[in-house]
Amino acid sequence: MNMAHQATPSSQKALMMELKSLQEQPVEGFRITLVEESDLYNWEVAIFGPPNTLYEGGYFKAHIKFPVDYPYSPPTFRFLTKMWHPNIYENGDVCISILHPPVDDPQSGELPSERWNPTQNIRTILLSVISLLNEPNTFSPANVDASVMFRKWRDSKGKDKEYAEIIRKQVLSTAAEAERDGVKVPTTLAEYCVQTRVPSQDSSSDLLYDDLYDDDMEEEDEDEDESEMESVGEAGAISCLEDGGTSTRRYDNQDDSGNEDS
């Protein structure tokens, strides 16, 4: 048992710890599963479109692939659902600073502090992606046509509807897959902000957790996760407010038409 424990890659231990944390304290608007039970390096993500945005009611799937040296190198995030967005490539790859390797590249226009570093984790990635959906970076777009279209929609305060109509069609096209998966997509702030504790899939999963981690390590990691999540939440476009035991979600930098202030 000790030899097996010593041979376990540190990345596998880190991923198991993060997976357990996300199952017990989910990130709102996301569902996380493993593509295969035996493979911790490939995750499937289901993203619910945030209410009061163009993506409301959407059910978007993505894959996260982690490198063996995680968290020293960033994972890749690829949408499986067809996405029309300034920062998503045609093949679904997400172009976002937090997922770029921590190298100094002046030509990229990114500061080293904006890129990946080992203190980041899957929570900060998920929160960054949901923020990116609502606040695209049009300065270095992965999809130039989508970027131009988004700027027209934003600058016209929604009068130019081409961008919004494409997004809504993509949202509607996800309804069939949500139904096949037996998923009820949240469409109100109250539904979207509810967090539930996901039970362990079976007792063998708990045995695996116990085998890989010490309790004190787990508590330390969860404290770090909470601290990082708070910092990202303050910087992002979305935040949750609790009042009397119910959660509501506020969308900053948006007017009544769903447009963000530039």
Among candidate residues 125, 144, 129, the one with its CA nearest the CA of residue 81 = 129
**95 is an active site residue:** yes
Burial 228-259 (b: 16+ CB within 10 A, else e): bbeebbeebbbeeeeeeeebebebeebeeebb
CA pair distance 179, 119, nearest whole angstrom: 37
Residue whose token pair is 């894959």 = 63
Query: What is each CA distance from 117 to 63, 170, 217, 237, 253, in whole angstroms?
Result: 20, 33, 20, 22, 28
Longest CA–CA span in the chain (Å) reads 65
Residue pair 141/147 in contact by the 8 Å Cβ criterion: yes
CB atoms within 10 A of CB 5: 10
**What is the rounded CA–CA span in Å between residue 189 and residue 228?**
23
CA separation for the pair 201, 138 (Å, rounded):
41
Nearest-CA neighbor of 249 among 86, 52, 94? Answer: 52
Nearest to 223 by CA among 43, 25, 69: 25
Among residues 95, 129, 171, 212, the one annotated as catalytic is 95
- Give catalytic residue positions: 95
